[in-house]
Amino acid sequence: MNKRELKVGVVAERSGIAISAVHFYEAEGLISSSRNQSNHRVYRADVLRRIAVIKAAQNMGIGLGEIKQQLATLPDNRTPTQSDWAKLAQQWRVLLDQRIQRIERLRDSLEGCIGCGCLSMDNCPIYNQDDQLASKGTGAVLLK
Amino acid sequence: MNKRELKVGVVAERSGIAISAVHFYEAEGLISSSRNQSNHRVYRADVLRRIAVIKAAQNMGIGLGEIKQQLATLPDNRTPTQSDWAKLAQQWRVLLDQRIQRIERLRDSLEGCIGCGCLSMDNCPIYNQDDQLASKGTGAVLLK
DNA sequence: CCTTTACCTCAAGTTTACTTGAGGTTTTAC
DNA sequence: GTAAAACCTCAAGTAAACTTGAGGTAAAGG
């Protein structure tokens, strides 16, 4: 049973974020701590993993509000078990695969028609004659 | 030769963004227009494609500053040719593949050790005994 | 013991990416 | 011709994600 206790300075340094950001994430409810006699925050070591996952998701363009929502399935009051993480992994797998597909679509379409309405690429008349796709949605319809 | 000219309201609507955002992107140098006799902005149709690519990149968590930099290889004063887009596509392919790999790594590691220093997963002693990876960088070293 | 380092809270400030509001001109439609 | 819609600029406001600064206590080290 992992009982490692970390102070805020250590958490910040190992995570590569500022102490103020650790404070901020806790204020926002993304992470939590207990307090010692001197009112110093005391974190379980799994907070490092939690912050790492937060930063990875953020780096994908996901906002903190949504990240918080999605991490809510993890227990707050104890170190999450393998099975807790497996449950989260299952949910995220769907989301992450969708993101991968979206990037793949962009990567593979950058030289052709994306259904944006410009009609300036050679294959736009094939995929979007007269911008018929405008009736299907805004922006690059073929990338969604 | 595509000579379609669009007013700002049409651009905003087809792109699915606000007129104020069109103004903002132009102010930031991400898109450009000419002016007619009434000082109204006049856009070439390829601006739709440009905005679509901007939104796609943004949605991946890339900031406007970086997007601007990367779109700088496209000509501003005329509709980009197939070959202009091919050049950009080549550069972006590398970046996009890197992003895909990063997401795949996260997807495939959510149930195991990511090198974050928590040492709370079953396979952490295998991949990160005593958090030796701390010397290799901050955060989730194995996800980078 | 004293100095330095590490921690606390609170609130204002900064950056990014827009949006809104105010006050005006031009174009479109009836 | 008139009213409504579409356009303009400028500047302040909003939201999100932090950072900085001010003023204080506690812990660590010599």
pLDDT tens digits for B29-50? 999 999 999 999 999 999 999 9
Residues A79 and A122 grouped into a single domain? no
Residues A32 and A95 grouped into a single domain? yes
pLDDT tens digits for B88-135? 999 999 999 999 999 999 999 999 999 999 999 999 999 999 999 999
Residues A74 and A18 grouped into a single domain? yes
Rounded to whole angstroms, the maximal C-alpha distance in chain A is 71
**Domain housing A129:** 111-144
Contact B111 A86 (CB under 8 A): yes
Cβ atoms of B22 and B31 closer than 8 Å? yes
- Which amino acid, one-letter code, is at B143? L
Residues A98 and A117 grouped into a single domain? no
Residues B26 and B72 grouped into a single domain? yes
How far apart CA A35 and CA A44 sit, in angstroms, is 11
Residues B115 and B48 grouped into a single domain? no
Relative to beta strand B34-35, strand A34-35 is unpaired
Q: Which bases of strand C have any atom within 7 Å of the beta carbon of a protein residue?
A: 6-9, 11, 16-21, 26-27
- Helices A82-109, B46-59: axis angle to 10 degrees equals 160
**What residues contact A16, with CB distance under 8 A and at least 6 apart?**
A55, B137, B138, B139
How far apart CA B38 and CA B42 sit, in angstroms, is 11
Q: What is the pLDDT of residue A70?
A: 93
Cβ atoms of B143 and B114 closer than 8 Å? yes
Checking B55-62 for CB contacts under 8 A at 24+ apart, the result is B55/A139, B55/A140, B55/B15, B55/B16, B55/B17, B56/A102, B56/A106, B56/A140, B56/A143, B58/A61, B59/A61, B59/A102, B60/A60, B60/A61, B60/A99, B60/A102, B60/A103, B60/B99, B61/A58, B61/A59, B61/A60, B61/A61, B61/A62, B62/A61
Residues B116 and B100 grouped into a single domain? no
- The CATH number that applies at residue A40 is 1.10.1660.10
The protein residue nearest nucleotide C26, judged by CA to C1', is: B38
Number of domains in chain A: 2
Contact B118 A49 (CB under 8 A): yes
Q: What is the pLDDT of residue A20?
A: 96
In sequence order, what DSSP letters do the residues of B37-54 get, joined into one string? TT--EEEETHHHHHHHHH
Q: What is the pLDDT of residue B76?
A: 85
Residues A56 and A94 grouped into a single domain? yes
Overall average pLDDT of the A46-50 stretch? 96
Residues A131 and A82 grouped into a single domain? no
How far apart CA A116 and CA B48 sit, in angstroms, is 6
Residues B17 and B78 grouped into a single domain? yes
Q: What is the pLDDT of residue B2?
A: 53
pLDDT tens digits for A78-89? 899 999 999 999
DSSP class of A3: -
List for chain A the helix, strand, coil content (%; round to 5).
55, 5, 40
Using CB atoms, pick whichever of B49, B93, B131 lies closest to residue A120: B49
Enumerate the residues of chain A whose CB falls inside 8 A of the CB of residue B110. 53, 85, 88-89, 92-93
**Position A2 pLDDT exceeds 80:** no
Give how far Cα B129 sits from Cα of A86, B8, B120, B126, B134, Å. 22, 58, 11, 6, 10
Torsion sign across C-alpha atoms A56, A61, A65, A69: negative
Enumerate the residues of chain B whose CB falls inside 8 A of the CB of residue A99. 60, 103
Q: What is the pLDDT of residue B74?
A: 93
State residue A41 phi and psi, 5-degree precision: -65, 140
**Position A101 pLDDT exceeds 90:** yes
Residues A12 and A82 grouped into a single domain? yes
Residues A59 and A94 grouped into a single domain? yes
Contact A138 B13 (CB under 8 A): yes
Contact B97 A117 (CB under 8 A): no
At A3, is the pLDDT very low, low, confident or very high (cuts 50, 70, 90)?
confident
What is the reported pTM?
Answer: 0.92
Cβ atoms of A6 and A47 closer than 8 Å? yes
